[in-house]
Structure 1
Amino acid sequence: MIKLSHLKHCRKFCISLLCALGMANAHAALNVTASADDGNVPANTLDDNIDTRWSANGSGQWIEYDLGATHTVDAVQIAFFRGDVRDATIDIQVSNDGGNWQTLFSGTPPTRTLAQQHFELDDTSARYVRIVGYGNSQNNWNSITEFDVVTLASGENIALGKATSQSSTGYEGVSSRAVDGNTNGNWNQGSITHTNNEYQPWWQVDLGSVRSIDQVNLWNRTNCCSSRLSAFYVLVSDVPFTSQTLSGALSQAGVSAYYFNDTAGSPTEINIDRTGRYVRVQLSGTNPLSLAEVEVIEGSEIVPPAPTGPDASWTYCAAEREQCAFSNIKEVAYGAGDSWNYSVELDGVTCNNTNLGDPVRGTVKSCWVRNAQQNYVAVRNLAELQNAISNSNQHIRMKRGVYEATALMSDNTTVFRFDGANNVLDFTGVTIQVPTKLLNSMSTQPIHSQVTYDVMGDNITFLNGTFENTYPNGQHDVTDFTAHNKNPDYWPARQMTEFRVWGNGVQFLNNTITVRGSYPYGYGDMLGKGAGSAVYLRKHAGVQISGDNVLIDGMKLTVLAFGHGIFMQGADNTVIKNSVVQGRMRLGADMYNDGPDSLMGPFNFEQQYPDHFVGLPIVRDLMYNLTEDGIRAYTQGTKLDGSVVRTGAITVEDTKVINMRGCITTPLASKPSYIKNVEIQGCSVGYALANNSDVINSRGDAGYGPLLHSTYDTRNNANVEITVTNIPSTGSHAFAYIAGSGHNITFLSDGSNPDVPREIRVGDTGDRWAGDPSYQDAANILLINETNQPVVLTETSRNITGESVGEVTDNGTGNSLK
């Protein structure tokens, strides 16, 4: 519906005026009139119902629409009564004053249909649109069932030269530089803003009046330090911001927040699609804030329709971007037409896409409420939360907001304990922050009892929550590893886990977890990972599962600490799907830059673990994982009742694991693993499997470690199909280490070529058992290699069959791989 020849900033505005007159929020400036009607009134053309109409008899009868303000009219859409069997004859006219009219179209519709028909017009500035009818091919009646007008956004940068401010000014980088029209990202050109190095610095512009905003374009600094402009918010408000803090701005009614996690470019375009007078850019961590330019692109004036609810059980509450105010618990429907998002809210909610999602893009929406259809327990603070989760058989709704934990439970090793059962915990719009300094105040005894969220009850559901650890300086992640490892406020008192799941039937649905704070951090496991480590370990893992039938669906888990992502100890039938587990990598050369007083300095930057690497210097051009494994199975675990049980079946589907030490490592499980539609990226080990496991339609690379690793030659009968992706690689590892028997393994190519040839080694378990042939057995394996990576069949391989595009070197016995 938008002509593609228009500028990229031109955006459709389809005004469905819907003047169902008498609605409380119908705009008085909008009006539809007609020269006459037969009782089928003009407003019927705006009710989204082709079964109603406006009708008037006689040549020259007209219907007129007042848009309320001047717009660039691009097109109109008209549905005609009985338009499937007859042709109407019309003029389409526009006017700025309602008296002088310009005809943009004369004729009949392009086709016969009951649906709306599109009339493309020459772009013309107008406030009024009139349809003049001259009867139809059967009689003199003029009848229209539905009408829309399409206007274009101006595309103008309305921030240019406007008043600006910022939280502080450093190096004479005044705030007005970001609206001077100069997008040059070189500091030396004198057109870049600069704040002090501070916590959550901000910059903002006052547009002078409330305007329609299509998008905000940001230009970053380019000659250095571009990474500072990352993990930031663009905030938009019709009224002044009442707080300089990020949490205060985010909680202010009527503020829309647009989060950008990556480093901004030149430009980075952020779609807004709302009105606003004040636009703020604010970092979420500690850094100077520098902007080369900020453009605020004007959009079309948004004229909301008179709303209708999902059905008669709902009561109108608020228009889009307004506060839907009520007390206690209500169900809220947000949307328009047939497209609605539903939620349960406590003490009101701002009616916008940020809070409630966007069920139908490009359409003005509204909020409707009704009484909750079941009983809920209302929770407004963390103390009330702890009381509620000690009880059972509840639906608990916590009020939207950001909450910071300030105290431990009486055992001094736990922050929250979920010992009730059969509870649904609705954390939609809730962020719970647990400072690393609080974790450091935990008791170090008894061992293995330190945990943030101790989930003891059965059948608990965590819904839509955000859970994160926070550093004292507010940083998203560590930049100075030496300082981090010297300050105990930045790590826990002892090795710990964020979520420890004892209960059976626990579900995590659409939660975001960010783990921060460990000692050591910055060097992976090269100082050790258990007993006998070179330093006292205070590891910090994400989710430990010991209960059965646990479901993780839609989790975004970021591990910025030395510890596992999700690991199973004694759990059976664990299902992980639609999730992302992500850690962090670091180049060896960067570790040397930490200096002699770093943790690695006293060891002359030589690795202290594992045994076969002890004494070897850190490799400068090698990427190292800073975490432990993404999804990991241990041999066994202790249940809540004290029994020790083997770890069982694990299913992983439609999930990504990125930059963890081992992406998916389940060889110690006693039951098969089922892995489908999974992608691994940049791990030291890609897939390591239990007996009889399946890897189906999955992807991965061997950039930083082997894509497939048989860590034991006693693991058999794996069925593997992996499409190989290629990333810039480091290190001297093999593409795959394959041992055991009865496997069917297929490596498919995605069409890209690796930058380094790496061997697929059959009859090899890698560094751990290097040189000991008793651990390297490989037999009766079918290998299909459709990549150009070479295959080496070692002396301990036998009866290996299949085909390989890459060259085959056969040192084994009875092999027929070709």
Structure 2
Amino acid sequence: MMFCRITFAATVAGLLLCAPVFADNVTVSSLEELQHYAHKSGNIVTMQPGTYRISDWLSEEKLRDKRAQADYPYLKFTGHDNVFQMDGVKIEADTKLRTILRPPVHTNEFVISGRGNTISGLTLTNIGDATSPGGALLSISGDNNIVQNGTFTVRGSSPYGYGDLFGKGGDYTIGHHKQSGVHIVGSGTQIIGCKLYVHSYGHGFYIQGGHTQSFQDCYVEGKIRATDDMLKETSGPAADIDFRTVVANRDGERRVTPGYMKSLAEDGYRTYHDIRDLTFLNCTAKHMRGGFELRTEGGGVQIQGCQAIECERGYWVGNGATVLESSGDAKYGPLLFVEGKRANVHVQLSPDSSKYHVHAIAVICGEEHQVHISPADLLESREVATPILLGYGAPAAGEGMAEIKPRRATRVVLNNETKMPVEISHEAIRCQVTSEGEIKRNDGKDTQITRE
């Protein structure tokens, strides 16, 4: 491997001088050796396959020393321009270590803060069920890093088993401690061929900063549970508060409602703040609260060839988002929420349905969207007639059991090629609707309707 060295003289002269700076090609067989090279730069590091336990490396005494130094991550990649080849390597972090380290909230367990690194084939796994103070299994804060062909399993949150019914953030009826999967703030991050299993209350992949990030051939999966099953509990945190929820249900009561299916995790792929130039290609979310919740202020979200399977809601997109050749079901909740301005959405609806309550296929508000919903299987149609709602906004916190209320939709073009009915509220203005399914209600203003 050869690197270019920029000298002061070359910069002044406007020239880039490339000198052969050869990388070390080393093999490591312990976490201590791995951490040593993770702090260095410009190396090719191959780790011998095997299972490596954090508890075998960081004794209780070492963990206490780390706490005294306010050094909370287990392992940090601070070097630059390294290649870590880690096929067959599994690193286990027992959640009980958190009780010794006692990190502050939002502490991440493994951190890539250096630039230009490639980490391939790594398996990171939480074991046990000790509580997290809130954070992520892996955080990528440096720029231009590539993580590929990794497998990550995250555990340890409290309470677990109810999803977001009892709160998130600062609004809650039961105090909670999240633990999420992969946290990204570094620009130019590439996540390729990675699998993430979320067995905790927290997000899968979530982006809170940076720009120009991409995901390709990734998979994230949580677990689901019926509210009927929750309501059978006679003791525990939910029963202790009489199942009192944060969000009111459709009857106006703040209580868990039977007949719904909930994800026990949060969102599969999630953005916060003004993230720009974000790409998802051939990615899948299964059993998550939101499959792809990508409501960026700046726009530039591109979703292509993706799939949402049995999530509480499949896609939630906003300003300038593009969704192409992607699909999902409305088995446990809506396929689609659209808001903001000028989204271009082409999604396919699979025929899967269930006995659980689902109140909409799609909920659309905002301005100047192009929304095209087609059947994923031309030979098989969804058995349950569930409406596509135009001129309505997502329910409070996206909660499936909450009321869906009218909200302004202006100059939206909707093409419904499914047999599902369409309902148009009085908040839809100057919209154009073409529908294979029945128009059950049209209270829109200056709205053009074409029946296929």
TM-score bin (small chain): 0.7 to 0.9
Q: Which residue does 1:779 correspond to in 2?
A: 410
The alignment status of 1:734 with 2:356, answered yes or no, reads no
Q: Which residue does 1:592 correspond to in 2?
A: 231
Q: Which residue does 2:15 correspond to in 1?
A: none
Q: Which residue does 1:683 correspond to in 2?
A: 311
The alignment status of 1:523 with 2:154, answered yes or no, reads no
Per-residue Cα deviation, 1:531-564 (whole angstroms, up to 9, x for no partner)? 1322332100011110101000100111111000
TM-superposed deviation, 1:611: 5.3
Q: Which residue does 1:812 correspond to in 2?
A: 444
**C-alpha separation between the residues in 1 aligned to 2:297 and 2:50?**
40
2:48 maps to which of 381, 396, 399: 399
Decide whether the 8 Å contact of 2:228 with 2:258 is kept in 1.
Answer: yes
**C-alpha separation between the residues in 1 aligned to 2:420 and 2:405?**
25
The 1:403/1:771 distance shift into structure 2, 3 A limit, reads closer
Q: Which residue does 1:603 correspond to in 2?
A: 241
The alignment status of 1:458 with 2:115, answered yes or no, reads yes
Instruction: Give the 3-state SS of the residue equivalent to 1:573 in structure 2.
Output: strand
Higher strand share: 1
Q: Which residue does 2:209 correspond to in 1?
A: 570
**C-alpha separation between the residues in 2 aligned to 1:543 and 1:585?**
20
The alignment status of 1:423 with 2:82, answered yes or no, reads yes
Decide whether the 8 Å contact of 2:23 with 2:42 is kept in 1.
Answer: no
**C-alpha separation between the residues in 2 aligned to 1:375 and 1:587?**
53
Q: Which has the higher contact order (CA 8 A, sep 6+)?
A: 2
Decide whether the 8 Å contact of 2:330 with 2:353 is kept in 1.
Answer: no
TM-superposed deviation, 1:529: 0.8
**C-alpha separation between the residues in 2 aligned to 1:731 and 1:688?**
19
Per-residue Cα deviation, 1:339-376 (whole angstroms, up to 9, x for no partner)? xxxxxxxxxxxxxxxxxxxxxxxxxxxxxxxxxx9741
TM-superposed deviation, 1:771: 8.0
Q: How does 1:496-511 map to 2 (within 5 A)?
A: 496-511=135-150
1:626 maps to which of 264, 273, 296: 264
Decide whether the 8 Å contact of 1:452 with 1:499 is kept in 2.
Answer: yes
The alignment status of 1:760 with 2:397, answered yes or no, reads no
The 1:771/1:516 distance shift into structure 2, 3 A limit, reads closer
TM-superposed deviation, 1:592: 2.7
Decide whether the 8 Å contact of 1:400 with 1:429 is kept in 2.
Answer: yes
How high is the TM-score relative to the length of structure 1?
0.48
TM-superposed deviation, 1:772: 6.7
In structure 1, give the amino acid aligned to 2:83: V
Instruction: Give the 3-state SS of the residue equivalent to 1:391 in structure 2.
Output: coil
Decide whether the 8 Å contact of 1:674 with 1:695 is kept in 2.
Answer: yes
The alignment status of 1:470 with 2:127, answered yes or no, reads yes
Q: Which residue does 1:717 correspond to in 2?
A: 342
Q: How does 1:184-333 map to 2 (within 5 A)?
A: none
TM-superposed deviation, 1:755: 2.9
Structure 2 residues not aligned, in runs of 5+: 1-21, 398-402
TM-superposed deviation, 1:394: 1.0
Decide whether the 8 Å contact of 1:469 with 1:514 is kept in 2.
Answer: yes
In structure 2, give the amino acid aligned to 1:650: L
The alignment status of 1:540 with 2:183, answered yes or no, reads no
Q: Which residue does 1:666 correspond to in 2?
A: 294
TM-superposed deviation, 1:393: 1.0
Instruction: Give the 3-state SS of the residue equivalent to 1:441 in structure 2.
Output: helix
TM-superposed deviation, 1:653: 0.6
Q: How does 1:544-559 map to 2 (within 5 A)?
A: 544-559=183-198
Q: How does 1:374-393 map to 2 (within 5 A)?
A: 375-393=24-42
The alignment status of 1:495 with 2:144, answered yes or no, reads no
**C-alpha separation between the residues in 2 aligned to 1:699 and 1:396?**
39
In structure 1, give the amino acid aligned to 2:437: G
Instruction: Give the 3-state SS of the residue equivalent to 2:449 in structure 1.
Output: coil
**C-alpha separation between the residues in 1 aligned to 2:196 and 2:188?**
20
Structure 1 residues not aligned, in runs of 5+: 1-372, 472-489, 636-645
**C-alpha separation between the residues in 2 aligned to 1:803 and 1:611?**
34
The alignment status of 1:443 with 2:85, answered yes or no, reads no
Per-residue Cα deviation, 1:96-151 (whole angstroms, up to 9, x for no partner)? xxxxxxxxxxxxxxxxxxxxxxxxxxxxxxxxxxxxxxxxxxxxxxxxxxxxxxxx
Q: Which residue does 1:478 correspond to in 2?
A: none
2:430 maps to which of 792, 795, 799: 799
**C-alpha separation between the residues in 2 aligned to 1:386 and 1:610?**
45
**C-alpha separation between the residues in 1 aligned to 2:283 and 2:364?**
24
How high is the TM-score relative to the length of structure 2?
0.86
Decide whether the 8 Å contact of 1:412 with 1:442 is kept in 2.
Answer: no
Decide whether the 8 Å contact of 2:307 with 2:326 is kept in 1.
Answer: yes
Decide whether the 8 Å contact of 1:672 with 1:690 is kept in 2.
Answer: no
The 1:671/1:651 distance shift into structure 2, 3 A limit, reads same
In structure 2, give the amino acid aligned to 1:810: N
Q: How does 1:140-151 map to 2 (within 5 A)?
A: none
**C-alpha separation between the residues in 1 aligned to 2:318 and 2:444?**
25
Per-residue Cα deviation, 1:492-538 (whole angstroms, up to 9, x for no partner)? 34011111111000111111111111111100011111113223321
Q: How does 1:10-409 map to 2 (within 5 A)?
A: 375-406=24-55, 407=58, 408=63, 409=66
The 1:736/1:771 distance shift into structure 2, 3 A limit, reads closer
Decide whether the 8 Å contact of 2:246 with 2:254 is kept in 1.
Answer: no
**C-alpha separation between the residues in 2 aligned to 1:462 and 1:538?**
29
